[in-house]
Structure 1
């Protein structure tokens, strides 16, 4: 019996459907991870300007066109690096994570201070270095870093400072209006260690701890 035109069309679709079957979710995630890891290495080694999609593809061992299936531009790659290395890996200082009865100062020492002590051993300081060094030429880097790292962190610090004030902790009231005060030693340390005096690096963790001491001091509770 002769097949109808509809039967022929359906038969022709079946092999194509099999051929178009996409990669598994796990494979897709692995490929994306490989690309982001390669981008991180490229940015830290060459900086943002000199890193290219082509160089990332070679380091990752994937086709250049494949990268564009995951990331529309180099800026999107940098954003993915920031998300992976800082946002998702960062110690959570959300107020809801405080233990019952734990003071804000103790909470910050347990979480943020512990993270800052290792900042030079991780990629976080080097990513910040790229933003500082190339942000003027590439404003998108500054926007990504501000949006994904600085703004959320300062907002959490501000909320913690409000809670400390309400509970009677001897916190310097200035940090409520200027939460960047708590983070200032981190930026100062990164600039010194990465640009100003590489031969004599400062201890960023120690500087941050001193800042905590000064902010949570009854003598400066204004």
Structure 2
């Protein structure tokens, strides 16, 4: 394993990412969390590789149903964020463990309303919580990261109630795996996957730990 994680050009020592002190109980065999961290193609590619994650859907959260489509969301005026709905088995991977990957690999939570060159509120960093317990665990982990001084800048991730999640158009689903040589995927998703494999090989599905892993 490497000793650091590079997030959108920001290199942070891996040892500075603590495990969450607070987490949800490992109850049941199906749960979900909706996360936004820039382009959903790339965030989806990260989470589908994690052992215990059963399904990841790219879509939109934070806006109204009539504007939950790619053309409208790309204007940045709908209130939506590009988001992923992560379905997982809590007995295999915890909510807190997914948050750790979200903050350390999937995106840079210190960038306000953007990720890299992707700019607009649709690319904001957000956790869309369904329960008070999800909100409390996420709040506690953000406080823990900031107390540890993990980032040189403040975390700007918003915690927003999930009113609805709208799956994106079919051509967006599993996009990275279906288009591994697309220039954007090679430039943005592939480096995230390299960091994921370097730092969390013990948390990944076996097919993602070989020398030439699929992206999703």
Using structure 2 for the length normalisation, give the TM-score. Answer: 0.26
CA radius of gyration, larger in: 1
Q: Is the helix fraction higher in 1 or 2?
A: 1
Which of 1 and 2 has higher RCO (CA within 8 Å, sep 6+)? 2
